[in-house]
Amino acid sequence: MGGIDTEAKHALVLEADTGQVLLDKGSEERIPPASMSKVMTAYMVFDYLKQGRAKLEDELPVSENAWRTQGSKMFVPLGSRIKIDDLLRGMIIQSGNDACIVLAEGLAGSTGAFVEQMNQKAKEIGLKDSHFANVDGLPDPDHYMTARDLATLALRTIQDFPDFYHYYGEKEFRFHTVAANYKEIDINQGNRNPLLYKDLGADGLKTGHTDEAGYSLLGSAKRGDRRVIVVLSGLPSMKARAQESERLIDWAFREFNNYQLFAKGDKVEDAEVWLGSEAKVPLTVDNNLIVTIPRKARRDMKVSVSYDKPVPAPLKKGEPVGKVVVTVPDMPPAEATLVAGADVDRMGALGRVAMAAAHLIWSRLH
């Protein structure tokens, strides 16, 4: 679609508002999400905070299990207590596996209990083919996601937790900690998301890397009213990850645009009503109809309506009666529900008899 490919093994580029897929390369295939699965861990923590089951100022204890964990760290000191606010930054900005374990143990009692909650929540928010075996994304055959699910998770994070999404756009985190020799030190680590350091409108989300998965990225960028989500997995290097994600985001904003065809409540057309107290009813859309199409294809766009004519009475305002279909070459059609714009009662008994008689006479004459 759109004449572009990528060296990533799996990729998805998605227009956030319309859900239009701009590029799809194996987006339904299972991949090891590596540290991108920390976006699910963070989603769970945000949910605890939003429900009032925890507060950002709450301090959680560091167990030996968390302290000993391998891979990327925020370097939590054994036996200390750390604020959820700091742990979130350690997990999201520094990709700290130790921060993930402190959060999971502190909020759910154990990492196993937290993982169960992750899998339950994943189903609730529409992740169709994801399963979590741990809280940090370290390799495990039972730990997988799809590019499509990663994009869904990014969208749900942005929509469900606008008050917490800012963590993903922060470029660095300085963590004041205690070293093994009991000396106080500041550890400053930068965000590994390469998109944040370029003028792309990027404000999240997360990178990942393991030997098995290669280099991967779940990114989001906003320019004006548009937001684009990009998922890449299986790239050979950090450089390729940075270049490909930048190239695809620029391509999505340059080659495509959103066009509003109808606002909610706008009349699309008048439909004839069969046996109604009114002869016609206005048909409208129940939401703003916005389509994402290639800029150069706008003149080739066709809009059609589809419904059974005439529409039988009675009708309730807002009742679905058909659909509006928008087509452009080389893109899947976009659809919106067509609804009645007003109530229409059934015609009275005498009127129905007169209509039936008229119909009978008309059919005999023709």
Active site residues: 35, 38, 95
Q: CA-based angle 87:92:97, to the nearest 5? A: 65
Q: ∠212-191-111 over CA atoms, to 5°?
A: 60
Coil vs helix vs strand at 130: coil
DSSP alpha helix (H) spans, the chain: 38-50, 64-68, 84-92, 97-108, 111-124, 147-160, 238-255, 349-365
Which two three-digit tokens encode residue 242? 């940075």
Q: Do residues 258 and 18 make contact, with C-beta atoms less than 8 angstroms apart? A: yes
d(CA 202, CA 173): 18
Task: Judge contact between 253 and 15, C-beta under 8 A.
Answer: no
In the DSSP assignment, the letter for residue 247 is H
CB atoms within 10 A of CB 361: 10
